[in-house]
A and B are shown apart, each in its own frame.
Chain A
Amino acid sequence: MEHPILEVKELHFSYPDGHEGVKNISFTIEQGESVGVIGSNGAGKSTLLMLLLGIHFPDGGNVFVGDVEVTKKTLPLIRQRLGMVFQDPDDQLFMMTVYDDVAFGPRNYQLDEKEVDSRVIRALDLVGIPHLKDRAPFKLSGGEKRAAAIASVLSMNPDVLIMDEPTAALDPKSRRRLIGLLNSFNHTKIITSHDLDMVWETCSRVIVIKEGEVAADGPTMDILANEELLDSCGLELPLSLQNCPVCSSRKVHEKIKLRGVNG
C-alpha cells in the first residue's frame, strides 16, 4: 500500500464556545500499527477521535483514511473503515438485545440477513460473549457492556479499531481480559487512555497529547519510560515501570531490556 492507513495533517479544531480542543496535530499511522494516544484529562484525546471519525469537522487541516479525505460526502465509507468504540458503552448500546446492537452496523450497510447473522455471531465469539446475545444491553455488567460495544464495532469489519479509554471503569479481571482481547486482534488500533500500563501492554507506539498539541510521538518503550516527559504532561510512569516500593528494585531498565529481547 502506498498510502498510510491514516494520515492527519495540521489538524485544528475549536469548540463553538471558543475552546481550542485540538491545535495543529499531525501524524500518520501505518497498516497494522497499534498506537496509544495518551494525555491527562481534558488534553483533547476524545476530541481528536471525533475529528478522525468526522463527528466533528476541523477548522483547519485534514484527515485522510487511506486515500480518502474525511468530508461529509465520504462519511459512509470512512465509518465503515474506522470502527469507533465510545468511552461510555451505554452511549453505544441502545437496542433491545445485544444481538440487535451488534447487527445494527451491518444492517445499516444493507447486508443480507444471513451475512449479518454470521458477522454478529463471529463478533460475539471474538469478544467471548456469545451467551449474552439475547440479553438486554443495559442489564449487563461493565465488562460485558464493554465487550458488547466492541463487538458492535467488530461486526462492521473495520480496518482500524479506535477506542476511547477502553479500560475506564473496569475491574482488574475485566481489564486484564480486555487487554488479552485487544492483543488478539490484528487490526490497526488507536487507543486513547491514561491507563499507561494498558498502553504499555497493547501498543507499540505512543502519541502524547498535551493541551491539544502533540507533545511526543515515538516507540512505547522510549516514551512510557521517560519520567520527565510524562510528568510535564500530567502523567506518571506506568505502575509496572515504577520502582518497587518494597524492595526498591529498578524496574524500568529490566522491563525495557526484557521487551527489547522479546521483540
Chain B
Amino acid sequence: MATIKNVLFNMGVLDDLAMKETSIHRIHPLIKLLTTVVYLTVVVSFGKNEISNLLPFFLYPVLIMVFAEIPVVPILNRMVLVTPFIIGIGILNPFFEVQTVVVFGTSISQGWFTFVSLLLKSALTVAVSLMLIATTGMNQLAAALRMLKVPKIFVLQLLLTYRYISVLIEELSRMVRAYSLRAPGQKGIHPRVWGSFVGQLLLRTYDRGSRVYESMNARGFSGEYHRGNISKLKGKDIAYFLSWSLLFMLARLYDLPLLIEALIFSMGGE
C-alpha cells in the first residue's frame, strides 16, 4: 500500500523543511508560535459570510512560503487531506440558507458565500499551521510551549504523540504489506479481518511504544524532556511579531481590498 508509506515519508518532509536555515527559520520559535496564534484568532473571528475581507490574509502564508523556501506541493497535499471534512461540513449551507443574493444578475443562495468563506478560512488556518511546523520543527515548538509555561506533561504528550503517529503508521504498513503479499489481487483489506487487524495494530503499537519508552528510560529519561539551548529573544523578533499583529488587526478592522480600490479610484479621479 504505497499511500501509507507516503504518509510516513511526507511526515518527514515537514521535519526536513524545519531544518532549513532561512531568515524565517531563524526567527525565535516563541515569536512564530505567537504570531500564528494571533493570525488564527483573527481569521477565525470573521463573520460567516465574509470573503473579500479574508483575501489580504493570503499575504502572510505566501510571504512565509517564499522567504522560508517552502515548496507548495507538500503543503497543498496536506491541505487536500482535510478538504473532504470541510466540504462535508459546509456543502449543505447553499441548500439550507433561504436568503438569496443577486450576483451578476442571477440570484444565488447566500449559503454559497458561507461555504466559500468556510473554505477560505480553513485553507488559511491549515496552511499557516503547517507552515509553523515546517519553519519551526516540533522540538522547538515544544520548547516555545514550555516558555509559555504550558505544563511539561502536556508538551511531552504532544511530542510523543507526534512520534507515535509514525510508529503507528510503520506498524500499519508492515501489517498491510504482510497481508497483501498473501492476498494477491485483493484490493484493500477484507472486512472479515478488520477486527483482528485493528486489534493487532493496537497491541503491536502498544508493544512498540513500551519498547520505545523502555529505551528512553534506559538513557536516563525521568519524565522531563530536556531540550537543547534556545536562543534569546531579540529586538527584531519582537518587531516581527508586532508588525504582523498590527497588519492582522488592520485587515480585521478595515476592508483593505475596498480601501485600496477606493484609493485607486480617488487617484484616478485626480
Q: Give the residues in chain B near A107, CB-CB below 8 Å.
A: 226-228
Docked complex Cα distance between A90 and B137 (Å):
21
Most chain A Cβ neighbours within 10 Å, of B170, B214, B224: B214
Whether A103 and B228, one on each chain, are in contact in the complex, defined by CB atoms closer than 8 angstroms, is: yes
Q: Give the one of B215, B217, B227 with max A CB within 10 A.
A: B215
- Within 8 Å of chain B (Cβ to Cβ): is A116? yes
A109 within 8 A of B: yes
B137 and A109 contact, CB distance less than 8 A? no
Q: Does B56 contact A (CB under 8 A)?
A: no
Shortest Cβ distance from A53 into B: residue: B218
CB contacts under 8 Å to B, within A48-97, are 50, 53, 55, 75-76, 79-80, 82, 84, 86, 88, 90-92, 94-97
One of A90, A110, A116, A156 near B219 (C-beta < 8 A): A156
**Across the interface, which residues of B come within 8 angstroms of A100, CB to CB?**
139, 228
Q: Does B189 touch A at the CB level, under 8 Å?
A: no
On whether the beta carbons of A108 and B222 are closer than 8 Å, the reply is: yes
For the complex formed, measure the closest distance between the CB of A203 and the CB atoms of chain B, giving whole angstroms: 22
Question: What per-residue 1/0 map shows which CB atoms of A202-244 lie under 8 Å from chain B?
Answer: 0000000000000000000000000000000000000000000
Min Cβ gap B146→A in Å is 14
CB-CB under 8 A from A96, the residues of chain B are 15, 18, 137-139
Q: Is B250 an interface residue (CB 8 A)?
A: no
Which stretch from A19-27, A37-45, A131-139 is at the chain B interface? Answer: A131-139
Are the CB atoms of B228 and A79 closer together than 8 Å?
no
Residue B229, interface by CB 8 Å: yes
Q: Is A153 an interface residue (CB 8 A)?
A: yes
Q: Does B19 contact A (CB under 8 A)?
A: yes
Cβ-neighbour of A134 out of B19, B215, B219 (below 8 A)? B19
Chain B interface size band reads: 20 to 34
Q: Which of chain A's residues have a CB closer than 8 A to the CB of B224?
A: 108
Q: Does B228 lie within 8 Å of A94, measured CB to CB?
A: no
CB < 8 Å neighbour of A79 from B12, B19, B163, B217: B217
Q: Which residues of B contact A110 (CB under 8 A)?
A: 226
Which of chain B's residues have a CB closer than 8 A to the CB of A105? Answer: 219-220
Which chain B residues in 182-218 approach chain A with CB under 8 Å? 208, 211-212, 214-218
CA distance A53 to B216 in the complex (A): 12
Give the size of the chain A interface in residues (CB under 8 angstroms): 35
Which of chain B's residues has its CB closest to A139's CB? B12
A104: CB under 8 A from chain B?
Answer: yes
A76-B223 Cα distance, complex, nearest whole Å: 12
Q: Mark A146-184, 1 if CB is under 8 A from B, else 0.
A: 000000110010000000000000000000000000000
Q: Is A109 a contact of B228 with CB atoms below 8 Å?
A: no
B166 close to chain A: CB less than 8 A: yes
One of A82, A103, A136, A156 near B12 (C-beta < 8 A): A136
Helix, strand, loop or mixed for chain A's interface?
helix
Shortest distance from the beta carbon of B134 to any chain A beta carbon, whole Å: 13
Contact check: which of A76, A91, A92, A95 meets B220 at CB < 8 Å? A76
CB distance from B221 to the nearest CB of A (A): 5
Least Cβ–Cβ distance between B94 and chain A, in angstroms: 43
Give the Cβ gap from B90 to chain A, nearest Cβ, in Å: 35
For the complex, give the distance between the alpha carbons of A20 and B217 in Å: 24
Q: Does B16 contact A (CB under 8 A)?
A: yes
Judge whether A254 is part of the interface by a CB distance below 8 angstroms. Answer: no
**A-chain residues with CB within 8 Å of residue B19 when the two chains form the complex:** 97, 134
Cβ of B18: which chain A residues have Cβ within 8 Å of it? Answer: 96
Interface presence of A113 (CB below 8 A): yes
Across-interface contacts of B139 in A (CB, < 8 A): 95-96, 100
Taking a contact as CB atoms under 8 Å apart, the answer to whether A76 and B228 are in contact is: no
- Look across to chain B and name the residue whose beta carbon is closest to the beta carbon of A120: B228
- Minimal beta-carbon separation of B171 from chain A (angstroms): 10
* A113:B229 contact, CB within 8 angstroms: yes
Q: How close is A248's CB to chain B, nearest CB, in angstroms?
A: 41
In the assembled complex, the Cα of A136 lies from the Cα of B170 at a distance in Å of 15
Task: Give 5 pairs: A residue, B residue, CB < 8 Å, sorted on A.
Answer: A53-B218, A55-B214, A76-B220, A100-B228, A138-B166
Closest 4 CB pairs of A and B: A108-B220, A105-B219, A107-B226, A91-B211
* Contacts A90-B170, A91-B211 supplied; 10 other A-B pairs, CB < 8 Å: A79-B217, A79-B219, A80-B220, A91-B208, A92-B215, A95-B139, A100-B228, A107-B228, A138-B170, A156-B220
